[in-house]
Structure 1
């Protein structure tokens, strides 16, 4: 039989106990329909009311004369026990580490997948916020690319030089193999960085976190790693369509780019689908404006540099 855990009014976690014992505590009034419970196989803690059918609480209430109508009314009106606003509010465990009773017993707090809260306001991330986030991620991945390629290029030259002293063909092969490994590493990093971050508890890359947006399923749920990897390959489709797939985010109803439509994802404010939708930001925000300004300045400087190089080259001719 399933082993159950429950959290009391002081947010202390209890268990494991058998389903019969949990029903007995409910009958005795030690817990109510607002009590949060968990068992293996559940993705997150749920109020007892959500599993009342599984535990046959209604049948037990009918047999004992317990009236649950007020309890259900309280839950529907939001008076039931709710999760803490922050993990830091949870009491300390006996080992000295902090934990929340709303964390599954086998999980650490940072691994909790918060439930998507439906019915609230959802602010879609506009095109320019996504551009600002992409600029930050582009800078990060470009730095990583150089960190990988520069030492591998040096290593390839050394390998090619050593092998080329006796066989020029072997030297070329050794150099190309070394660089090939480098490009494979870069491709894997470009794929796994957004996939891992989008499927993490943050639901966002570093760039998206900076501007306050995240990637979710169309129903607000967190992406699985598999879907996040699929989104990367769909992202390539948005690129090879002359970037029209990206521009679609400025015109579609839910601000979806082509890869979002393919993978059933949305890019939304970080507080969308949470218990505090009122914290969402409607405008661009200061961070986004600063990043876009820096990106624009960088592009202008690059254009100016290219013009100067062209003028200088023409002068030498």
Structure 2
């Protein structure tokens, strides 16, 4: 069956419409992320996944598909794992400091004064690790997820730092920026929107 004779069903404003012939799709406001289905397909795919639509509409293929975006619980668990490792390192350093610092009050003050360092270390570590070769922190690597740009490519160090700084916006007020991921089809939090990034998981095949 030639592409010109294939009938395409297009999701427009949340509703499937069509069928349309290939040339008719030019008149529609189709974006790379528009969901489209053609005969023989069990489910819809994004427009950029069709070779003939990339040629017709000038899209580029994005190496991320909807089913491969990391869910909020996966991302949360990855962050918890990272904080666990960083906290363990902080506790070990605190114990070593006891060899130098004398007096119970002084030791308590040293621990309290060092607590704000933990999120700062997390920010720096995450920014560097997510812009590195693995594109992931230890927690993300254990969860088989990583940070990419919108096309599925590695992010730059500057963009990674910007993304992690923007997490402050996601956290305030009431972590609404994180909860936004439940309303976003690519499961992006607000800081992902700001930095134009995705968090994706390994493909099953």
Q: Give TM-score, length-normalised by structure 2.
A: 0.58
Gaps of 5+ in 1: 1-116, 162-170, 272-277, 280-317
Task: Give the length in aligned residue pairs.
Answer: 145
Change in 2 beyond 3 A, CA 1:119/1:199: closer
Report the RMSD for the aligned CA atoms in angstroms.
Answer: 3.1
1:297-308 correspondence runs (5 A) = none
Gaps of 5+ in 2: 1-59
After TM superposition, the runs of 4+ consecutive aligned structure 1 residues lying more than 6 A away are none
Name 2:178's counterpart in structure 1: 246
Measure, in 1, the Cα distance between the counterparts of 2:117 and 2:150.
32
Query: Which whole-Å deviations, capped at 9, do the CAs of 1:187-209 have from their partners, x for residues lacking one?
Result: 44212211111001111111111
1:192 aligns to 2:192 (yes or no): no
Change in 2 beyond 3 A, CA 1:242/1:197: same
1:114-263 correspondence runs (5 A) = 118-120=61-63, 122=65, 123-152=68-97, 154=98, 157-158=101-102, 182-183=114-115, 185-263=117-195
Which SS does the other structure have where 1:201 is aligned?
coil
Q: Give TM-score, length-normalised by structure 1.
A: 0.40
Name 2:51's counterpart in structure 1: none
Q: Report the structure, 1 or 2, having the larger strand content.
A: 2
Instruction: Say which structure, 1 or 2, has more relative contact order (CA 8 Å, 6+ apart).
Output: 2
Shift of 1:155: 5.9
Shift of 1:186: 3.3
The answer to whether the 8 A contact 1:157-1:175 is kept is no
Q: Report the structure, 1 or 2, having the larger helix content.
A: 1
